[in-house]
Protein backbone atom coordinates (compact mmCIF):
# COMPACT_ATOMS: atom_id res chain seq x y z
CA UNK A 1 0.00 0.00 0.00
CA UNK A 2 2.82 2.27 0.77
CA UNK A 3 4.26 1.62 -2.67
CA UNK A 4 0.95 2.53 -4.30
CA UNK A 5 0.82 5.72 -2.29
CA UNK A 6 4.36 6.67 -3.33
CA UNK A 7 3.47 5.90 -6.96
CA UNK A 8 0.40 8.13 -6.74
CA UNK A 9 2.43 10.96 -5.17
CA UNK A 10 5.12 10.59 -7.85
CA UNK A 11 2.48 10.60 -10.57
CA UNK A 12 0.86 13.68 -9.02
CA UNK A 13 4.23 15.46 -8.84
CA UNK A 14 4.85 14.58 -12.47
CA UNK A 15 1.46 16.00 -13.45
CA UNK A 16 2.27 19.14 -11.52
CA UNK A 17 5.59 19.46 -13.33
CA UNK A 18 3.84 18.97 -16.68
CA UNK A 19 1.06 21.37 -15.73
CA UNK A 20 3.62 23.89 -14.45
CA UNK A 21 5.69 23.69 -17.61
CA UNK A 22 2.62 24.11 -19.81
CA UNK A 23 1.63 27.05 -17.71
CA UNK A 24 5.13 28.57 -17.99
CA UNK A 25 5.14 28.01 -21.75
CA UNK A 26 1.78 29.76 -22.06
CA UNK A 27 2.99 32.62 -19.91
CA UNK A 28 6.13 33.04 -22.01
CA UNK A 29 4.07 32.98 -25.19
CA UNK A 30 1.74 35.62 -23.80
CA UNK A 31 4.71 37.83 -22.84
CA UNK A 32 6.18 37.58 -26.33
CA UNK A 33 2.82 38.55 -27.84
CA UNK A 34 2.48 41.56 -25.52
CA UNK A 35 6.05 42.68 -26.23
CA UNK A 36 5.43 42.44 -29.96
CA UNK A 37 2.17 44.37 -29.67
CA UNK A 38 3.74 47.21 -27.74
CA UNK A 39 6.53 47.51 -30.29
CA UNK A 40 3.99 47.76 -33.11
CA UNK A 41 1.61 50.23 -31.43
CA UNK A 42 2.64 53.91 -31.72
CA UNK A 43 3.26 55.54 -28.38
CA UNK A 44 2.33 59.13 -27.59
CA UNK A 45 4.32 60.76 -24.83
CA UNK A 46 3.57 64.04 -23.12
CA UNK A 47 6.55 66.07 -21.96
CA UNK A 48 6.59 67.06 -18.31
CA UNK A 49 7.54 70.61 -19.35
CA UNK A 50 4.26 71.08 -21.23
CA UNK A 51 2.51 70.39 -24.48
CA UNK A 52 3.51 73.72 -26.04
CA UNK A 53 7.13 72.65 -26.36
CA UNK A 54 6.10 69.43 -28.01
CA UNK A 55 3.98 71.39 -30.52
CA UNK A 56 6.56 73.74 -31.95
CA UNK A 57 10.06 74.99 -31.43
CA UNK A 58 9.22 78.49 -32.68
CA UNK A 59 8.04 79.87 -29.35
CA UNK A 60 9.23 83.13 -27.85
CA UNK A 61 8.30 84.47 -24.44
CA UNK A 62 7.63 87.96 -23.19
CA UNK A 63 10.74 89.27 -21.43
CA UNK A 64 10.56 90.40 -17.81
CA UNK A 65 11.05 94.12 -17.25
CA UNK A 66 11.87 96.37 -20.19
CA UNK A 67 14.88 94.91 -22.03
CA UNK A 68 16.70 96.99 -24.62
CA UNK A 69 18.89 96.09 -27.58
CA UNK A 70 22.41 97.43 -28.17
CA UNK A 71 20.97 100.69 -29.58
CA UNK A 72 18.76 101.28 -26.52
CA UNK A 73 15.46 100.28 -28.13
CA UNK A 74 12.63 98.38 -26.46
CA UNK A 75 11.63 95.59 -28.86
CA UNK A 76 7.85 95.21 -29.12
CA UNK A 77 6.71 91.99 -30.84
CA UNK A 78 3.48 92.74 -32.71
CA UNK A 79 0.98 90.14 -31.51
CA UNK A 80 -1.04 90.34 -34.74
CA UNK A 81 2.06 89.25 -36.72
CA UNK A 82 2.50 85.91 -34.95
CA UNK A 83 0.74 82.61 -35.58
CA UNK A 84 -0.74 82.36 -32.08
CA UNK A 85 -0.76 84.26 -28.79
CA UNK A 86 -0.42 81.89 -25.84
CA UNK A 87 -0.84 82.14 -22.07
CA UNK A 88 -2.58 85.51 -22.20
CA UNK A 89 0.24 87.15 -24.16
CA UNK A 90 3.13 85.71 -22.14
CA UNK A 91 4.29 83.50 -25.03
CA UNK A 92 4.04 83.76 -28.79
CA UNK A 93 4.10 81.01 -31.41
CA UNK A 94 5.90 82.38 -34.47
CA UNK A 95 4.48 79.63 -36.68
CA UNK A 96 6.14 77.45 -39.27
CA UNK A 97 8.21 78.89 -40.82
CA UNK A 98 8.85 81.38 -38.04
CA UNK A 99 7.84 85.00 -38.75
CA UNK A 100 7.00 88.15 -36.83
CA UNK A 101 7.23 91.95 -36.76
CA UNK A 102 9.03 93.96 -34.09
CA UNK A 103 8.65 97.69 -33.47
CA UNK A 104 11.77 99.26 -31.98
CA UNK A 105 10.79 101.93 -29.44
CA UNK A 106 13.73 104.27 -28.73
CA UNK A 107 14.51 104.89 -25.06
CA UNK A 108 17.73 106.89 -25.32
CA UNK A 109 17.04 109.56 -27.95
CA UNK A 110 15.40 112.02 -25.55
CA UNK A 111 11.88 111.71 -26.93
CA UNK A 112 9.04 111.42 -24.46
CA UNK A 113 5.89 109.74 -25.70
CA UNK A 114 2.32 110.61 -24.67
CA UNK A 115 -1.08 109.14 -25.42
CA UNK A 116 -2.46 112.54 -26.55
CA UNK A 117 -1.36 115.18 -29.07
CA UNK A 118 -1.40 117.90 -26.39
CA UNK A 119 1.58 116.15 -24.78
CA UNK A 120 -0.25 116.37 -21.45
CA UNK A 121 0.12 113.98 -18.55
CA UNK A 122 2.87 111.59 -17.67
CA UNK A 123 5.16 110.31 -20.44
CA UNK A 124 4.72 106.61 -21.25
CA UNK A 125 7.39 103.95 -21.11
CA UNK A 126 8.15 101.68 -24.04
CA UNK A 127 6.58 98.82 -22.14
CA UNK A 128 3.32 100.75 -21.63
CA UNK A 129 3.23 101.71 -25.31
CA UNK A 130 3.79 98.12 -26.38
CA UNK A 131 1.17 96.63 -24.06
CA UNK A 132 -1.48 99.24 -24.96
CA UNK A 133 -0.81 99.63 -28.68
CA UNK A 134 -2.11 102.64 -30.60
CA UNK A 135 -0.91 106.08 -31.69
CA UNK A 136 1.52 107.90 -29.43
CA UNK A 137 2.78 111.47 -29.70
CA UNK A 138 6.05 113.25 -29.01
CA UNK A 139 7.51 116.72 -29.51
CA UNK A 140 9.60 116.80 -32.64
CA UNK A 141 13.22 117.86 -32.15
CA UNK A 142 12.92 120.41 -34.97
CA UNK A 143 10.10 122.90 -34.39
CA UNK A 144 8.42 124.01 -37.59
CA UNK A 145 7.47 127.55 -38.51
CA UNK A 146 3.87 128.62 -37.97
CA UNK A 147 1.30 128.68 -40.74
CA UNK A 148 2.12 132.29 -41.58
CA UNK A 149 5.79 131.52 -42.04
CA UNK A 150 8.63 132.89 -39.93
CA UNK A 151 9.25 136.01 -42.03
CA UNK A 152 5.56 136.96 -42.27
CA UNK A 153 5.21 136.47 -38.52
CA UNK A 154 8.25 138.69 -37.85
CA UNK A 155 6.79 141.38 -40.15
CA UNK A 156 3.47 141.34 -38.29
CA UNK A 157 5.22 141.63 -34.95
CA UNK A 158 7.14 144.67 -36.18
CA UNK A 159 3.92 146.25 -37.41
CA UNK A 160 2.30 145.59 -34.02
CA UNK A 161 -0.60 143.69 -35.48
CA UNK A 162 0.09 140.91 -32.98
CA UNK A 163 1.82 141.11 -29.60
CA UNK A 164 5.58 140.62 -29.53
CA UNK A 165 5.20 137.84 -26.94
CA UNK A 166 3.89 135.48 -29.59
CA UNK A 167 6.57 132.97 -30.55
CA UNK A 168 7.37 132.83 -34.26
CA UNK A 169 7.57 129.03 -34.09
CA UNK A 170 5.22 126.36 -32.81
CA UNK A 171 6.01 123.05 -31.22
CA UNK A 172 5.82 120.29 -33.77
CA UNK A 173 4.00 117.23 -32.54
CA UNK A 174 4.54 113.96 -34.35
CA UNK A 175 2.60 110.75 -33.95
CA UNK A 176 3.75 107.15 -34.27
CA UNK A 177 1.79 103.93 -34.39
CA UNK A 178 2.84 101.03 -32.21
CA UNK A 179 1.00 97.71 -32.65
CA UNK A 180 -0.11 95.98 -29.44
CA UNK A 181 2.22 93.23 -28.27
CA UNK A 182 4.86 92.31 -25.74
CA UNK A 183 8.48 93.26 -25.14
CA UNK A 184 10.98 90.56 -26.07
CA UNK A 185 14.73 90.33 -25.59
CA UNK A 186 17.38 90.73 -28.27
CA UNK A 187 18.82 87.36 -27.26
CA UNK A 188 15.52 85.58 -27.92
CA UNK A 189 15.12 87.37 -31.25
CA UNK A 190 18.62 86.33 -32.32
CA UNK A 191 17.33 82.75 -32.56
CA UNK A 192 15.06 83.85 -35.41
CA UNK A 193 17.56 85.98 -37.36
CA UNK A 194 16.33 86.75 -40.85
CA UNK A 195 12.72 85.79 -40.04
CA UNK A 196 11.74 88.89 -38.05
CA UNK A 197 10.91 92.24 -39.68
CA UNK A 198 12.07 95.25 -37.65
CA UNK A 199 10.59 98.77 -37.75
CA UNK A 200 11.98 101.70 -35.77
CA UNK A 201 9.74 104.62 -34.81
Calculate the alpha carbon distances from 187 to 59, 75, 127 in Å: 13, 11, 18
Query: Is residue 33 located within the same domain as residue 65?
Result: no
In a domain, 50, yes or no: no
- Return phi, psi of residue 197, to 5°: -95, 130
pLDDT tens by residue, 29-66: 665 554 444 333 444 444 454 444 444 579 999 999 89
- Looking at residue 26, its pLDDT comes to 73
Query: Is residue 80 located within the same domain as residue 127?
Result: yes
Query: Is residue 146 located within the same domain as residue 82?
Result: yes
Query: Is residue 81 located within the same domain as residue 23?
Result: no
Number of domains in the chain: 2
Domain span at residue 21 reads 1-43
In a domain, 49, yes or no: no
- Looking at residue 170, its pLDDT comes to 64
Parallel/antiparallel/unpaired status of strands 196-200 and 100-106: parallel
In a domain, 105, yes or no: yes
Query: Is residue 29 located within the same domain as residue 83?
Result: no
Q: Averaging pLDDT over each range in 35-44, 79-88, 137-146, which range is the top one?
A: 79-88
In a domain, 190, yes or no: yes
- Residue 52 CA to residue 38 CA, distance in Å, equals 27
CA atoms within 13 A on the CB side of 2: 0
In a domain, 100, yes or no: yes
Query: Is residue 25 located within the same domain as residue 65?
Result: no
- Residue 18 CA to residue 105 CA, distance in Å, equals 84
Amino acid sequence: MRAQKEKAVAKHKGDAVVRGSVSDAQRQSRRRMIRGATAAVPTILTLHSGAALARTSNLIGRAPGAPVDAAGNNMCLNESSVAEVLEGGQRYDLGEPAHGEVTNIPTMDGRRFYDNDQLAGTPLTGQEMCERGGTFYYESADPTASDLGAQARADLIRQSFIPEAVDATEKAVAGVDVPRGGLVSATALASFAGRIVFRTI
